[in-house]
Amino acid sequence: MGRTVAELDASLSIDELYMWVAYSAGEPWGDERSDWRSAHTNYLMASIWGDGKKKYKLHDFLLKFDKKKTEVNKGSDINKWNAMVLQAMFSGAKKKGTK
């Protein structure tokens, strides 16, 4: 964004922050997509420069995480929780401008 945290804290409204959070949640270039891109690059490198004895699969290079630890509890409303946390973080920004 080309701004410091202090500049954003002084100028970013909570509504605009919510808009950016929603945008970030909907765009396809997050961590999982990045893992797939890295796996694909590594797969190609191993296939091209490997000794040729082993046939690799893309999944051989994909990072694997314990799903039990990374899954969000489906019963909880994570968006409400995030909104509460963000509102608490930025509630000081609105108070700074008032006297």
Split at pLDDT 50, 70, 90, the class of 19 is confident
Predicted pLDDT of residue 80:
72
Interatomic CA distance for residues 79 and 56, integer angstroms? 39
Per DSSP, 71 falls in state S
Predicted pLDDT of residue 94:
53
pLDDT in tens, 32-84: 888 999 999 999 999 999 888 889 999 999 988 766 654 555 556 667 767 77
Q: Classify each residue of 30-59 as buried b or exposed e, where b means 16 or more C-beta atoms within 10 Å of its C-beta.
A: eeeeeeeeebeeebeeeeeeeeeeeeeeee
